[in-house]
Amino acid sequence: MNKATLETNLRNEILAAISSYLSEKYETDVLTVSASEITIPVVDAENNDKFALIKVSIPRGTRNGNGGYDAYDGYAAAEDYTAELAEKAAKKAASAAKKEAAEKLREHKRAIRATKKTEKDDDNQYLDKEIAV
């Protein structure tokens, strides 16, 4: 068997196992929509009809420039994705901290303005009487 046939057979076995599980779990028809995709009808929390689409692929990897492929490494892909999620979470936390600091600064400036306005009002309160004297 050639590589493509082996990959196709493996993909079909996985799709069959997933189809069997979904059919039993959700008691619904599992519909084949392409050679590598299946779909099932589902209902969301508000009872709206939706479809879940499941795709199974056996990736070969990236082209290496020599007419072949560098093998796909699922472990490396998972590590990269975990690092990407951690980076996004760090950016989100930094953004939240920056927003919080900016809000504290605005609040501090408001307090200073309110204090200056109160002092100014206090100074002008007796100004007319002092001039008249």
Q: Whole-model pTM?
A: 0.63
- For the chain, the structural domain boundaries read 3-61+68-72, 94-132
At which residue do the structure tokens 């600064």 appear?
105
Bridge-based pairing of strands 61-63 and 37-43 is unpaired
3-state secondary structure string across 18-84: HHHHHHHHHCCCCEEEECCEEEEEEECCCCCEEEEEEECCCCCEEECCCCCEEECCHHHHHHHHHHH
pLDDT tens across 30-71, in order? 999 999 999 999 999 999 999 999 999 999 888 888 888 888
Partners of 71 in beta bridges: 61
Q: Could you tell me if 38 and 32 are in contact, meaning their C-beta atoms sit under 8 angstroms apart?
A: yes
